[in-house]
């Protein structure tokens, strides 16, 4: 089986993971599916660039992340200034949304948090996917967790007189 076949196999085996990753960026089912489809096209088209089979997975994750970021940037330009669309989800259990806090992070930090805690990737894999060395991933991860802690505290209810 050639590299193209191996890339196709990886795409099919991990489609749901790529979808969840894309969805964590855009929080819209249709947009997430579009991102995964565009990523799959890019991966199939560029499959000859992959030299080692062991790098296919991290290479595809990187494509999905970059495609999601590009999608967000493209659509920010298309929306009217000052217009904030209504979220496409309903949260009836919490007064805050963790994803809102994660979305406040820089793109690279957001990718690290999502890959580590939503995709359960090891730090070494995250380093390969993001192009950072492992120590940089650790530093950015812990810095991002500190930021998230601060952002989440902003959502804590203020209890007066309790």
123-139 residue pLDDT tens: 999 999 988 999 999 99
CA-based nearest residue to 22, from 97, 114, 145:
114
* Angle 121-134-116 from CA coordinates, rounded to 5°: 25
CATH code, 1-89: 1.10.1740.10
CATH code, 91-157: 1.10.10.10
- What is the pLDDT averaged over residues 127-153? 92
- Predicted local distance difference test score (pLDDT) of residue 61: 93
Q: Which residue has the tokens 């855009």?
A: 26
- What is the pLDDT averaged over residues 98-116? 89
Domain positions in the chain are: 1-89, 91-157
Alpha-carbon torsion, ordered 131, 52, 120, 150, to 10 deg: 0
pTM for the model? 0.70
- Predicted local distance difference test score (pLDDT) of residue 83: 43
């Amino acid at each position: 089986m050639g590299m193209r076949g191996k890339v196709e196999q990886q795409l099919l085996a991990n489609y749901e993971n790529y979808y969840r990753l894309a969805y964590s960026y855009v929080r819209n089912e249709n947009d997430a599916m579009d991102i995964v489809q565009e990523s799959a096209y890019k991966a199939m088209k560029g499959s000859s660039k992959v030299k080692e089979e062991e790098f296919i997975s991290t290479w595809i994750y990187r494509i999905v992340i970059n495609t999601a970021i590009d999608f967000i940037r493209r659509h920010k330009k298309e929306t009217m200034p000052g217009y904030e669309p209504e979220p496409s989800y309903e949260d009836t259990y919490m007064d805050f949304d963790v994803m809102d806090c994660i979305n406040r992070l820089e793109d690279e930090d957001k990718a690290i948090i999502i890959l580590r805690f939503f995709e359960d990737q090891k730090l070494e894999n995250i380093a390969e996917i993001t192009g950072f060395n492992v120590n940089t991933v650790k530093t950015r991860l812990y810095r991002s967790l500190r930021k998230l802690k601060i952002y989440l505290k902003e959502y804590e209810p203020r209890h007066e007189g309790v």
